[in-house]
Amino acid sequence: MYDLHTHSLLSDGALLPSEVAMRYLSLGYKAIAITDHADYSNIKPATDAILEFSSHWPKDSGIKVLPGIELTHLPPTQFRPLAKYARAKGIKIIIAHGQTLAEPVVEGTNRAALEADIDILAHPGLISEEDVKLAKRKNIFLEVTSRKNHRDTNPHVVEYALKWGARLILSSDSHMPEDIITPAQLIDTGRRAGLSQKDIKNIYQKVERFILKKGKGK
């Protein structure tokens, strides 16, 4: 079981990265990514801290921790350069904060993020069919999230992703201890969004292959 969208006190979360990892481990997760929020103001210290933490996380801990970042509330033109910067630093999982209806996000964010070198488009709101097609062409995951308010558009994301064959990923977008849910609860998020058991199995097979590829050398 995997959750590639988590936050620590390196941005707006409540826990140290180690506390985040141990709580997920205790629930039976096999891999997570620490993906704290970043823009031009903090991307250097945020990536440095996350990379430092993940490089010292013991391989025999029982849970793989991948270094990530979430590019958040950017002007659309900034996704490309900041994704390039994060990738060059060694960040494995690059998330873009999508056009959730729960927050004021700049129009065109989904498209600009998908045109950059990202891995996951988080809570993409009422994403257009054209943007779903672009996500498919670039093998970018569209997030189905358990996070309150952001999850309201999960059924829309699932419907369009299944229609056009885009990749989906289930994640919690956890910030607080109470956001860290069990694998069964995360799977239930997918079911309530319209995914079948077969769909969910297929999602996790793709995510597992993705993690194996990203985790090489870790």
Q: What is the domain-level CATH number for residue 177? A: 3.20.20.140
Taking the model in full, what pTM does it have?
0.97
- Give the whole-angstrom CA distance, residue 188 versus residue 61: 27
Domain enclosing residue 137, as ranges: 2-214
pLDDT bracket for residue 215 (50, 70, 90)? confident
Q: What does DSSP assign to residue 217?
A: T
CA distance 150 to 147: 6
CA quadruple 124, 186, 168, 71: dihedral, nearest 10: 40
- How many Cβ atoms from other residues are within 10 Å of residue 158's Cβ? 19
- pLDDT at residue 94 above 70? yes
Cα 14 from chain centre: 18
pLDDT digits (tens, 9 = 90+) for 9-52: 999 999 999 999 999 999 999 999 999 999 999 999 999 999 99
Q: Provide the number of structural domains found in the chain.
A: 1
- Which residues are 65's β-sheet partners? 32
Cα gap 77→7, rounded to integer Å: 24
